[in-house]
Amino acid sequence: MPLGNDIAVFQKTLAALPLTTYQAGEIVLAAGTPSGRLLILKNGAVTVVKDGNEIAKVTEPGAVLGELSALLDHPHTADVLTLETSQFHVADATALLGQDSIALLHIATTLAQRLDGANKALIELKKKLQAGQPPAVISKAVEEIEVLLSPTGASLVYAGYPSDPFA
């Protein structure tokens, strides 16, 4: 079921949510903690850090942070820190996802698109491995999969895996 006109309804939902502002360098979400919040970037920029390594930068307004923790009911897998003063719409994850089917559909659609793209890229990676492609080609294919899993460029670690399978 595509979102279609429901995106306008989702934007109205966002407009009704409280806004919070974080200054540069502040922790927005902390790895290992269950915040119970969904943060939707209104403006600004954040970095996603796992075990001291930056795995993504997020600058796209509307990017949702904390969705995997909320949907899977587990602590955040990475730290999210502001790179500059940033504003977020803040939602109680359980309340929003339990009461707003449009918000739930928006997040589910985003995750489904990431998964579909990653599945296609994994098939291509398997073909490259079977063909004996050099490590540089394989590494590039893995990077492409990481980007597909999140339009913000998050790696597999941020996409919900408890550890980096390529470490």
Domain coordinates in residue numbering, the chain = 6-112
Under the phi-then-psi rule, with left for phi > 0, alpha for psi from -120 to 50, and beta for the rest, what region is 16? Answer: alpha
Tens-digit pLDDT profile for residues 45-91: 999 888 888 877 889 888 889 988 888 899 998 899 999 999 999 99
pLDDT higher than threshold 70 for residue 165: no
Assigned fold of 6-112: Jelly Rolls (2.60.120)
- The pLDDT confidence band at residue 166, using thresholds 50, 70 and 90, is very low
- Of residues 45 and 150, more confidence is placed in 45
The torsion angles phi and psi of 48, rounded to 5 degrees, stand at -105, 125
Return d(Cα 79, Cα 49) in angstroms, integer: 5
Return d(Cα 149, Cα 103) in angstroms, integer: 19
In this prediction the pTM is 0.73
Tens-digit pLDDT profile for residues 113-132: 777 877 887 888 888 888 88
Task: Identify the residue whose tokens are 């429901």.
Answer: 6
